[in-house]
Chains A and B, each alone.
Chain A
Amino acid sequence: MNDHGYPHEPTGVDTRKLGMWVFLSTEILFFGTLITTYLIFKGRSFDGIRLEEVYDIPFTSVSSFVLLMSSLTMVLAHNAIEKFDQERTNIWLLATALLGAVFLAGQIYEFTEFYHKGFTLTENIYGSTFYVLTGFHGAHVFIGVVLLIILWGVGQRQKGLSLDGGMNLEFIALYWHFVDIVWIVLFTVVYLI
């Protein structure tokens, strides 16, 4: 899997992998649209509570760090499967899923806190764009966690992932890192700026 040359493919790239990158390209546009919509309303004045009045930067910073570290465990799982080290692959896959679940739990806690403080989905259009943007990101993380657990389960059931299973791991890794880079942008645009 380390050799990316595919002479039998007219494009020189594995078609499935190219398809995954095309999918990620469309996802960039999807989140680009949501971020643009959020930014239209970010600087405007609305009735009701604003995000700046309720958020907790230290808490979100820790969540961001957890998601960043899940990218590390994901890439270590990818590295392990390239060396056919099934045991480490399973450990890193599970660690990635757990870190993703911790991030999700943090987001659910954060949303609950915001809701109790009065910053709700229907408070104003700014609140709506915030919840749609970060909610869709959370949904992507949830899908990623489910995919990781399924892949880990397949590895456990088959006593290790096959070469094809390794390719699936590479696709899930690409998806997971993509979810991470979206959060890198969201953390800065939504919380810090």
Chain B
Amino acid sequence: MSQAHKPHPTPKQYVQIAIILGILTAIEVALYYTESIVGVFTDPLLMILAVGKFVIVVGWFMHLRFENKLVNRFFAGGMILALVLFAIVMLERASANFFFS
């Protein structure tokens, strides 16, 4: 299962990645203050930005994109289980609100 891996980023590339993360955070804060202009798109955009930052940190800083497939599966497994848990609880709450409100 040993496999060839791509080289890790250089320090300069890490700094560039951090600048991108900083810019994305600034956009998030700007979106928060311009909610009256952006309207219903604010929350979806905030979620997309958060997912983008999440993927960048996991992929490049945690080196997951350079790792063995088994490691990727364990991380994805945890994420999927957490999302399934979230979906089940939200469905339960939605049905409880529908039937008992």
Residues on A lying within 8 angstroms of B by beta carbon are 2-7, 11-13, 17-18, 21-22, 24-29, 31-33, 35-36, 39-40, 57-58, 61, 64-65, 68-69, 71-72, 74-76, 79, 82, 173-174, 177-178, 180-181, 184-185, 187-189, 191-193
Contacts and interface: CB of A to CB of B under 8 A. Distances in A.
Contacts of B40: none
B68 A24 contact: no
Contacts of B90: 36, 39
23 contacts: A2-B5, A5-B3, A5-B5, A11-B68, A29-B82, A61-B25, A68-B18, A68-B25, A71-B18, A71-B21, A71-B57, A71-B61, A72-B17, A79-B11, A177-B57, A177-B62, A181-B53, A184-B57, A187-B50, A191-B32, A192-B29, A192-B32, A193-B43
Interface residues of B, number: 51
Nearest to B92: A40
Given A32-B82, A39-B86, 10 more contacts: A4-B5, A21-B75, A68-B21, A71-B57, A72-B14, A79-B8, A79-B11, A180-B57, A180-B61, A192-B32
B interface, over-half SS: helix
Contacts, number: 142
Contacts of B57: 71, 177, 180-181, 184
